[in-house]
Amino acid sequence: MEQYNDTVTEFILVGFTTNPVMQLVLLVIFLAVYALTVLGNSTLIVLICNDSRLHTPMYFFIGNLSFLDLGLSTVYTPKILVTCISEDKSISFSGCVAQFFFSAGLGYTECYLLAAMAYDRYVAISKPLLYSQAMSLKLCAFLVGVSYLGGLINSFIITKDTFALTFCNDNVIDDFFCDIPPLVKLSCGKKKSFQSVLFFLLTSNVIIPIVFILATYLFIIATILRIRSTQGRLKAFSTCSSHLISVTLYYGSILYIYARPRSSYSLDRDKIVSTFYTVVFPMLNPLIYSLRNKDVKEALSKLFK
């Protein structure tokens, strides 16, 4: 990669603001969010591992989702905190590549995992009596393994093509991390093939999983409508409401950043949205899957006792 970018050895991360007071405020906010993210996701993973009542396919997926959120937040937040308190806003070229690769890998894996979780909810509602047999440990491990493999392969492709672009002297990234829009904006002599790769990855990692999730929920809704009792319908819907909230928040922010027309890009506005799915969303997931979940509450109470 360095043969294409021998004029750039490091990047400068502008972040959100250069105002010292606001930087201090942001430091406190991001530190608090990161602490809650680590505490919430770590606690959820421990509960799922230690409580036998949570040894089910649904919690197996939720545990992996917490692991991904913990990793995604760790890729971004420490560097954001350093940028807020240090006058040195630089990140080395290799550091930018590493951050980009791991963040893309974890993010793409989460896209696939959310699709697998939608299938899990469909089986739980349409075949409740055969749920344990249909969603066997072998199948769950396969779905999770494929999610990680797909995420890493696609991350390698987009990282290789992004950093093969030529960055001509300008190395100031108007963002708080190394992401596609600001890096493409810095590049000169952009390759047309890069847009094709980007479109392919957007389709395979976002559009196809979204279509699969929507189709799955159409079957779920059809199954719920066949339930005669109102209480039964509400109970069935509550089993997938947390997942539906996660899908809406995660895919909504990603589509806003990467699927808009180029003419509507605004880096200042995109910073706020990208902060949501990279920093805030990993903190919210444990709350989404625990506050409305009786089993998790009981496991947490048991742990404290």
pLDDT mean across residues, the chain: 84
Residue 142 confidence (pLDDT) above 90: yes
Q: Determine the average pLDDT of the residues in 21-36.
A: 89
pTM over 0.85: yes
Encode pLDDT of 204-254 as tens digits: 888 899 999 999 999 998 888 888 777 778 877 877 888 888 888 888 888
Helix (H) or strand (E) holding 90: strand 90-92
Topology of the domain comprising 10-304: Rhopdopsin 7-helix transmembrane proteins (1.20.1070)
Cβ-contact 304, 57 below 8 angstroms: no
Backbone angles phi, psi at 163, to 5 degrees: -90, 5
Q: Which pLDDT score is estimated for 4?
A: 46
Strand order in the sheet with 10-13: 90-92, 10-13, 172-173
Encode pLDDT of 36-71 as tens digits: 999 999 989 998 888 888 888 999 999 999 999 999
Cβ-contact 84, 27 below 8 angstroms: yes
Residue 140 confidence (pLDDT) above 90: yes
Q: Which residues of 163-179 are buried (b: 16+ CB within 10 A; e: fewer)?
A: bebebeeebebbbbbbb
Beta-carbon contacts of residue 283 (< 8 Å; ≥ 6 apart): 33, 36, 37, 40, 73
Domain ranges of the chain: 10-304
At residue 189 the predicted structure's pLDDT band, cuts being 50, 70 and 90, is low
Residue 1 confidence (pLDDT) above 60: no
